[in-house]
Amino acid sequence: MSHSISSPTSLNRRTLLMGSMGLLTGAAAFRFPTPAIAQSVPLKVGLMLPYSGTFAKLGKFIDDGMRLYVEQNGGSLGGRRIEFVQVDDESKPESATDNMNRLVGREKVDVVVGTVHSGVAMAMVKVARDTNTMLIIPNAGVNEATGPLCAPNIFRTSFSNWQVCHPMGKVMFDAGHRNVATITWRYAAGTQMIDAFKEGFTKAGGKIADDLALPFPEVEFQALIARIATLKPDAMFAFFAGGGAVKFVKDYAAAGLNKSIPLYGAGFLTDGTIQAQGADAAGIKTTLHYADDLDLPANKRFLEAFKAKTGNDGDIYAVQGYDAGALLKSGLEAVKGDWSARAAVVEAMRGAKFDSPRGPVSFNKANNPVQNVYLREVRNGRNEMISIAGTAVDDPARGCRVQA
Ligand code: BEZ
């Protein structure tokens, strides 16, 4: 299977890349297909992801994971060939509405898969609701997407910010930590993940020494690291991801804090970053809905196939992209490729259950995955599972009115 990249069309210097997995000819001519011929027209999937900036690697691994899934299915899902259109969202919330409108309005995609950054995802959710476009979120954890802004056309194959961090509160309390400080970027994902951790930790009886933050995507950590050294909490809880996570972990170790103040975090602190962090990441404990060494046939098959396709070790981002493919297939198969049968597509996707590389996945009433959350530790250059911090963890979907 191949995909082609045509020359970019510029929109305020943003990049639009066209990729195809199947027939390109004829797609544009059939923007309003009748059901009878709909299945012969490729399903157009808009990939709105960061292909540049601090989350560039995360976006690439989601893209690779999704393409791997489609490739393993011969380029078609439920009998529909899949065609991709890519947009680099640069993790910039201020460009998100334009980017999304372009995919929906000009490119006339059938479904959008994106994105990584919670602030960008918020704008995407609003456009998806206004235009009734099907949206599959393959990373961004912004609670609202499957909370107060939940909708039948909005699904997530990743996590909510609450879901992956709440279990860590009890884990850290049970490890004997009583006085913990937090650090993150000051934006939706950072704030919501820290709040979820604090909810679990203070409920268990812990106290918060201080909350430290800097604007996204800044990486000048020195002043905050000096503050941690002065505070001397029992332990730290952190959320950073991508390039920022690499720099934070290295700076923390360079200041010698990893020897005296144990570092914990949301799993993004060490997922997809561990090679670049090297020995500085050793011993960091995190919670996430994935671990590199999960002893599951689906995980082994996935890691082998991902390595064979890309030459890289799979991570949570690749898994979430792969599962976006699996979710799309559930919907398309139920209607034999007739995407216009929206109610049946939604019903099938909401009822989907699959053996993900991360373990069993199903969906709650707000279309957020119900899944295990694992406690991991960086050992031997991998995020190894220590225990299951929460089995079949379900996001509370606060503010989501049950959908029709
Ligand atoms: C977010 O913005 O939701 C996010 C970004 C990177 C990793 C995890 C979450």
Residue 402 scores a pLDDT above 90: no
- Is residue 270 within 8 Å of 256, Cβ to Cβ? no
- What's the CA gap between 346 and 66, in Å, rounded? 20
* DSSP code at position 241: -
B/e letters for 152-190, b = 16+ CB within 10 Å, e = fewer, are bbbbbbbbbbbbbbbbbbbbbbeeebeebbbbbbebbbb
Give the helix/strand (H/E) hosting 80. strand 80-88
* DSSP code at position 106: I
Kindly state the average pLDDT of the residues 308-337: 98
Q: CA–CA distance from 298 to each of 135, 144, 301, 359 (Å)?
A: 25, 30, 5, 8
Parallel, antiparallel, or unpaired: how do β-strands 179-185 and 207-214 relate?
A: parallel
Residue 83 scores a pLDDT above 50: yes
**Burial tier of 36 (Cβ tally within 10 Å: 0-12, 13-18, 19+):** exposed
* Distance between Cα 30 and ligand 1 center (Å): 36
Q: Which atom of ligand 1 approaches the CA of 119 most closely? A: 2
Residue with CA nearest ligand 1 atom 6? 241
Q: Which atom of ligand 1 approaches the CA of 188 most closely? A: 2
* Average predicted confidence (pLDDT) for the chain: 92
- Is residue 272 within 8 Å of 301, Cβ to Cβ? no
Q: For position 23, what pLDDT does the model report?
A: 32
- What's the CA gap between 263 and 257, in Å, rounded? 9
Q: Which of 44, 79, 45, 41 is nearest to 62 (CA)?
A: 45
| Ligand 1 pocket mutation, candidates 48, 91, 116, criterion most atoms within 8 A of CB | 116
* Distance between Cα 141 and ligand 1 center (Å): 6
Q: Is the full-model pTM beyond 0.85?
A: yes
Pinpoint the residues of the chain covered by CATH 3.40.50.2300.
2-159+295-370, 162-288
pLDDT (tens digit per residue) in 204-231: 999 999 999 999 999 999 999 999 999 9
User: What CATH fold (topology level) applies to the domain 2-159+295-370?
Assistant: Rossmann fold (3.40.50)
Q: For position 124, what pLDDT does the model report?
A: 98
Place of tokens 């499957």: 146
Q: What is the CATH number of domain 162-288?
A: 3.40.50.2300
Give the helix/strand (H/E) hosting 266. strand 263-266
Q: Which atom of ligand 1 approaches the CA of 55 most closely? A: 6
Residue 2 scores a pLDDT above 70: no
* Distance between Cα 289 and ligand 1 center (Å): 13
* Distance between Cα 322 and ligand 1 center (Å): 17
Share of the chain above pLDDT 70, in %: 90
Q: Tell how far CA 130 is from the center of its chain.
A: 23
Residue with CA nearest ligand 1 atom 7? 241
* Distance between Cα 312 and ligand 1 center (Å): 21
Residue 195 scores a pLDDT above 50: yes
Residue 371 scores a pLDDT above 60: yes
* DSSP code at position 42: P
User: Which residues are near ligand 1 (CB < 6 Å)?
Assistant: 55, 116-118, 139-142, 189, 241, 268
Residue with CA nearest ligand 1 atom 5? 117
